[in-house]
Amino acid sequence: MQHPLRRNRFLFVASLAALVAVVHPPQPVAGQQSANADEDGTVNAAALMEAAPAEWLSYGRDQAETHYSPLDQINAGNVDRLELAWSWEIPKTGARLEATPLVSDGVMYATGPHSFVFALDARTGEKIWQWDPGIPDERQGGPSVCCGDVNRGVAIYGDKVYAGLLDGRLVALNKATGLVEWVVQTTPPGQDYSITGAPRIANGNVIIGNGGAEYGIRGYVTAYDAETGAEAWRTYTVPGNPADGFESEAMRVAADTWNGEWWVVGGGGSAWDTFAFDPEANLVYVGTGNGAPWSREIRSPGGGDNLYLSSILALNADDGELVWHYQTTPGDDWDYTATQPMMLLDLTIDGRERKVIVQAPKNGFFFVIDRLTGEFISGQAYADDLTWASGIDPQTGRPIETPEARYGTNRQGAWLSPAPFGAHNWRPMAWNPATGLVYLPAQNNVSYYEMVTDFQYTLGQWNTGTTIRGGGGPRPDRPSLTGPRTLLVARDPATNTEVWRAPSQGGNGGTMSTGGNLVFWGSGNRLVAINATTGEELWATEVGGGTATPMTYQLDGVQYVSILGGSTREGPRMWTFALDGSAESPRGN
């Protein structure tokens, strides 16, 4: 595929220079990879950097998933002039909004509830096309979903837009018209798989995972040729029945860490959200989910680490082969997924240049891992009231579990923190190279874990093997938490320490950071702008309940900030702001 090289005329040279000075090497952006390849096929990193700043071409803006934009027209000195530029109501209601919009060539692409896909003029908010796959609600026979008919957005590559659908389909739409170019069913019909995550692009393939571990599935990730939809590779995250033979050496190794007949329920390990791509290392990073059932004593009687649950997997981008793995929660018992957003950073740690991957999985610990080798570098608590583990062993990189944590092995229910919601969930973290901080939307919560004694697998039902949905014996009093329910934490990943924190007003949304020394964040019903250095709140506006993740772009010399926000009651809406924007608020505020 050949595309004209997009050159941005509104490049901010100063902020770009600052970015290059701190972050090295620049991470290419998905949609431009083929466009900027030299004749020998190598990617021209300088050209990619030059093309990137004004747009937002992939979920995390870059393939390192930093959710950082160097744009600085809107900055800490003038953000109080931010006003509504336009808004657009999504004509489809359902669950919470979770998508990060993408902007390419002046057009914004995003998704709403029930895998609804749309394209808007990014200058005006005028609709260009919309596409509704018509997936029925779970109550009307639609797919089983643990956590609502949500969707986290699209991928762009060449002349197509890609979306994963709730019913397990991956669809390629024509970027200009929204017409279907190809569609593949990525999941076996009749099983409890679903897709809510945004696809990613790596080496001309569309990477997509799936969810369903609460119901009982076997996790996997698949790469499809972006042009044709042909399957390039599929990599399972947990082993199947050994009697059927193993797909790879990695599955044979993993099977040694399981007991019993785990394949009956499926084992879990669904990769339902996070991916990152390092083109230089040619590695695709995958965050894997929890065990199915949750209770290890039922899933794998007698214990075991149960590879590769709750892990970061580094896969060869060409064939999906496992290169290394790091398990954040060995032998998961608690729905502590490692599907939370990861990012690739180049940091100086203890005087050494390190290429790292950072992640704050559900389990409450912030991990810094060597992204080339999988070597553990550091793991520190980012949540306030953790009771399942007292820390991460600095030598082994394994959690130090508390005596009460293994409620199933102990045959003793226990209140444990965090809860299955996790101390961090799908909400993207952001990085700012000037401050050297990661901005993490965290939460503190606690849940009672108790194993059921009469577990039976039932298709179409939650199969957690716990009393999370009722039943069980009498419970001790719920312990109180010291930390705020939801908050924004700014962490220095080089030292793995907290620098500042800001409490939310209500629910949490995702984050985005900019060259204007700002962090944008969905906090309760509001979009807020925060000083990236100090944590001081500088600006806020109401956008409605269920804020998703902000992003930014620049067109015709104007920088915009956009976010999806608004419940079914208020009307789900795309909100876009600019300095001295002059649109009337649709809600009269």
Residues with a known catalytic role? 335
The region of 24-32, 47-55, 188-196, 330-338 touching Ca ion under the rule CB under 5 A is 330-338
Give the C-alpha separation, 505 to 537, whole Å: 12
- Residue 528 three-state SS: strand
Give the C-alpha separation, 546 to 564, whole Å: 8
Query: Could you report how far apart the first and last alpha carbons of the chain are, in Å?
Result: 47
Q: What's the closest the beta carbon of residue 274 comes to Ca ion, in angstroms?
A: 13
Q: Interior CA angle at 415 toward 411 and 417, to 5°?
A: 125
Q: Which is nearer to Ca ion, 403 or 470 (CB)?
A: 470
Q: Total number of residues binding Ca ion (CB under 5 A)?
A: 2
Site for Ca ion in 361-380 (CB under 5 A): none
The region of 28-36, 114-122, 335-343, 410-418 touching Ca ion under the rule CB under 5 A is 335-343
Site for Ca ion in 286-315 (CB under 5 A): 290
Q: What's the closest the beta carbon of residue 146 comes to Ca ion, in angstroms?
A: 6
Q: What's the closest the beta carbon of residue 564 comes to Ca ion, in angstroms?
A: 23
Q: What's the closest the beta carbon of residue 498 comes to Ca ion, in angstroms?
A: 26
Task: Pick one of 55, 167, 335, 384: the residue that binds Ca ion (CB under 5 A).
Answer: 335
Give which of 491, 421, 553 is closest to 104, Cα–Cα: 553
- CB burial readout 305-334, b (16+ within 10 A) else e: bbbbbbbbbbbebeebebbbbbbbbbbbbb
Give which of 276, 284, 271, 343 is closest to 318, Cα–Cα: 284
- Residue 17 three-state SS: helix
The H-or-E segment that residue 284 falls in is strand 283-287
Site for Ca ion in 40-99 (CB under 5 A): none
Q: Which is nearer to Ca ion, 380 or 447 (CB)?
A: 447
Give which of 66, 564, 569, 153 is closest to 344, Cα–Cα: 66
Q: DSSP label at 218?
A: B
Tokens in use for 19? 């970015």
The region of 190-198, 282-290, 318-326, 397-405 touching Ca ion under the rule CB under 5 A is 282-290
Instruction: Compose the 392-411 pattern: x for residues touching Ca ion by CB under 5 A, - for all others.
Output: --------------------
Q: Which is nearer to Ca ion, 63 or 339 (CB)?
A: 339
The region of 24-32, 228-236, 328-336, 497-505 touching Ca ion under the rule CB under 5 A is 328-336
Asked whether position 332 contacts Ca ion by CB under 5 A, the answer is no
Q: What's the closest the beta carbon of residue 52 comes to Ca ion, in angstroms?
A: 34
Give the C-alpha separation, 572 to 575, whole Å: 10
Q: What's the closest the beta carbon of residue 335 comes to Ca ion, in angstroms?
A: 5
Interface positions with Ca ion (CB under 5 A)? 290, 335
